[in-house]
Structure 1
């Protein structure tokens, strides 16, 4: 038989000789040593925390900060919240629903101990705590450093504009606590729900944003109860019971059910305030928020599991964020846990850790030195701005009527003062013996007629003159960006006694004339001619 006609056996790959040596690095994915991973995550988190300090260390005074401290002091001294408005001559005796009373007491306490420096540091610690909680939630679900850095580098600037020293910081904090608790619950930890009624008890006494919190929680409960109606799951029933307990908790406040009647009547009405305006769509404003919203829409097409309640709640939150600028921060807090899980799992292979660990230790040290340099630069830059104002909140003379207030104090003037909306609480702090026409408490302390009347006056409309004829207005303070700044120059029965960089002060000459008019005619009014302090309270 011809050997060439025999069927040849199939070719086999030569077997590699057995060896105890490890396979070449390219044969398997590089492994990250646990200690190296912990170190890299720690560096990433430290960088994000410093990034947060750079963005959240805003030192400009909020228009209502003076009032919050003043009201907190009043609550402490009288041992109760005000039931009516004692600070305005246009709405004296009108009911006052102070839904921020607890935060105002806290603000007053911090201010008494550490001045406005303490308020800035307290705000900074609160914001870092929020970032810390959201960072912890990210790394509890995915170790992806790349996604973490990308999302938080976008989210922090998107949130920063809302982090003024105001009671709404409480809503940011309580919302974060609620979000973290709910995500832990859906990840299997059912015990965290026991804290939610206590959370809502604190929330309802700190800020009106509790309405958003209860609405978000209620929507989640509704979706989960409907989804698990026939499944017999225990989780939806537990959620519903907890929500019922939270609804009872929010009735424990100085006003009881009347607080919720006020919320119902007030929140549906129009608010002509900057933070309640919509986000402009076709501009670079709020660009980080818009990118995060685009990432949410893109996530719909990712091959990952999604919870129905997350899609519904986040869609609603984003719509409200675009509808009202003040809601963008709430939307970002809700977005971060969802986006970090979706993109962390989808882009698991696109992670800096495995590539970074291949590099030499010398490169690691160099990279860490660069990060440390940037972190030090951010801290020095913000610290220098803080130091320039002696570590106090900044009261800018280009925003607030500090020169006019100095003139009033130098001449010992007081009386009922018609003021621009944003200056009301600054003025009542500077002149506690005077009363004002309007301030930032808005519908919590003023009827709609008075709000509309002050707005008409500021806009120079004829009906606004009723503020001068129907109420005992003694002085008028005008802002250069309002029409009243010009119309008062020609107002019968009034004369200008002072003009500063951004304001004018007018006094009544018609019956009953203010005593300052005679002093003005006699040349007895003096202009201090000094620069008011920029440090809070100004």
Structure 2
């Protein structure tokens, strides 16, 4: 095996290069910055805050820092290696995620390495959009590990003991921890009820297996209480998904728009998978129907759940696809060249050297994190101006810039709003939108929030509004941002 070039090796190389290319891009994820600042705050104070410390609009109001551990890990990676530390951390998380995903695919495809690698490549294509420096990277890893452990248990390989321990990590890393018990529950339910259908394989759990699954499920629920916010964390996911404001305002909580090319391709992937299940030669496993159905509905509800469907359904699609492939096809003879030994060695060498050269070409340069920011996306120049001129205090800011301003200027600056939508959803965010959209209440709201400075996008309606009145003066402007300060402190209206 080591002497021949195999197609899956080429696919692995492509996926690795995709890891490098995506994570080496400028950091344009606006939420990343407040996560990094929260990690710094927690690490330096050795406390997990239970009230807001970053804004002036919600100062000392209750705040659940539900991703505190992930934020600390990202901050430590930054402290150890600056941007390169963050880059390596994400590569490690992706490598672990796709290692377990590949092992899961191998289980479901009958160890068809090429088919598993191709499905892994499809998974990378549909999930690369979510590969930012953010806590949800831990969601991907833990979600796939749970699927793998439960599939192993289905095949009488018992690693269930690790799941409650992983839940302890998950509940402190990301608010999606409820997905762990959901996966256990779906496997449990699939083997409890005896359903007699000619197209269904209904494997029933033995009494001992049911007791073990119930015990692990109970321990996993109890494990969710082991976090700085105790039982409050159990309600946090429900509060988020039940907030119409968050769902309507945040893109990743919106439903997929199947008019867009990315979602059209995703829909094609889904329909092809469903066709495989409907027309395939294998009987359906009850747990497969539950997994695919549950995560497909979730992906229709919110874009951010597409990754869960891909990880959950990909192995199921592989199970059906493997049955359609001829046993003597390319998928069973995995080497792509059957020539003489010297040529095999040459192709192996070309693959290794080519991958290393390509990785070197796309590997990010050794420069500080601040240099991996695009000035057209974030207010780099405006923030530097504020720092140089000591323009501190309360800042009314663009929603997407709050995190970056916090990272660079806190504690000298407190923002009106940042990416913690759950914190601001009740009052501040609606008021912010009224100001940003220049509704009639704008003068009164400017007076209410009483900022020492306003930093917003250049060329917006609010920019034009403020430029017309003598009570505000424009002190900085570039192609991205403008800064206004009050001419007379205390007068912010028209």
Q: TM-score range by the shorter chain?
A: 0.7 to 0.9
Shift of 1:218: 2.9
Q: Counterparts of 2:415 and 2:10 in 1: how far apart (Å)? A: 50
CA deviations on 1:375-434 (whole Å, 9 max, x unpaired) are 346424422xx1285788721001000111111122121121001111101111222111
Shift of 1:207: 0.7
Shift of 1:201: 0.7
Match for residue 281 of structure 1?
Answer: 258
Which residue of 168, 176, 182 maps to 1:215?
Answer: 182
Q: Counterparts of 1:37 and 1:392 in 2: how far apart (Å)? A: 45
Map 1:343-492 → 2, pairs under 5 A: 343-349=321-327, 350-354=329-333, 356=335, 359-361=338-340, 364-365=344-345, 368=348, 371-372=351-352, 375-376=355-356, 378-383=358-363, 386-387=364-365, 394-432=372-410, 433-443=412-422, 445-480=423-458, 482-491=460-469
Match for residue 184 of structure 1?
Answer: 152
Paired positions, count = 476
RMSD over equivalenced CA pairs, Å: 2.8
Shift of 1:315: 2.1
Residues 82/54 of structure 1: CA separation in 2 closer, same or farther (3 Å cut): closer
Match for residue 128 of structure 2?
Answer: 160
Residues 170/437 of structure 1: CA separation in 2 closer, same or farther (3 Å cut): same
Which residue of 42, 46, 53 maps to 2:19?
Answer: 53
8 Å contact from structure 2 (residues 15, 121) kept in 1: no
Shift of 1:89: 1.2
Residues 464/91 of structure 1: CA separation in 2 closer, same or farther (3 Å cut): farther
Residues 330/37 of structure 1: CA separation in 2 closer, same or farther (3 Å cut): farther
Q: Secondary structure, in 3 states, of the residue corresponding to 1:387?
A: coil
Residues 348/189 of structure 1: CA separation in 2 closer, same or farther (3 Å cut): farther
Q: Counterparts of 1:470 and 1:283 in 2: how far apart (Å)? A: 40
8 Å contact from structure 1 (residues 59, 120) kept in 2: no
Q: Counterparts of 1:429 and 1:356 in 2: how far apart (Å)? A: 50
Residues 223/42 of structure 1: CA separation in 2 closer, same or farther (3 Å cut): closer
Q: Secondary structure, in 3 states, of the residue corresponding to 1:354?
A: coil
Shift of 1:251: 1.2
Shift of 1:96: 0.6
8 Å contact from structure 1 (residues 204, 210) kept in 2: yes
Shift of 1:110: 1.4
Of 117-126 and 337-346, deviating more is 337-346
8 Å contact from structure 1 (residues 151, 340) kept in 2: yes
Q: Counterparts of 2:136 and 2:441 in 1: how far apart (Å)? A: 34
Residues 91/464 of structure 1: CA separation in 2 closer, same or farther (3 Å cut): farther
8 Å contact from structure 2 (residues 3, 344) kept in 1: no
Match for residue 251 of structure 1?
Answer: 225
Shift of 1:487: 2.7
Shift of 1:287: 5.1
CA deviations on 1:467-507 (whole Å, 9 max, x unpaired) are 31112311111114754233322356222221111111111
Q: Counterparts of 1:218 and 1:407 in 2: how far apart (Å)? A: 54
Residues 402/392 of structure 1: CA separation in 2 closer, same or farther (3 Å cut): closer
Match for residue 320 of structure 2?
Answer: 342
Q: Does 2:240 match 1:266?
A: yes
Which residue of 59, 75, 80 maps to 2:42?
Answer: 75
Map 1:260-339 → 2, pairs under 5 A: 260-270=234-244, 271=246, 272-286=249-263, 288-300=265-277, 301-339=279-317
Of 479-488 and 69-78, deviating more is 479-488
Match for residue 112 of structure 2?
Answer: 144
TM-score for both structures, normalised by structure 2 = 0.88
Q: Counterparts of 1:390 and 1:428 in 2: how far apart (Å)? A: 18
Q: Counterparts of 2:391 and 2:227 in 1: how far apart (Å)? A: 39
Q: Does 2:73 match 1:106?
A: yes
Match for residue 4 of structure 1?
Answer: none
Q: Secondary structure, in 3 states, of the residue corresponding to 2:19?
A: helix
Residues 118/393 of structure 1: CA separation in 2 closer, same or farther (3 Å cut): farther
TM-score for both structures, normalised by structure 1 = 0.81
8 Å contact from structure 2 (residues 185, 217) kept in 1: yes
Instruction: Report which of the two structures shows the higher radius of gyration computed on alpha carbons.
Output: 1
Residues 313/497 of structure 1: CA separation in 2 closer, same or farther (3 Å cut): same
Identify unmatched segments of 5+ residues in structure 2. Answer: 195-201
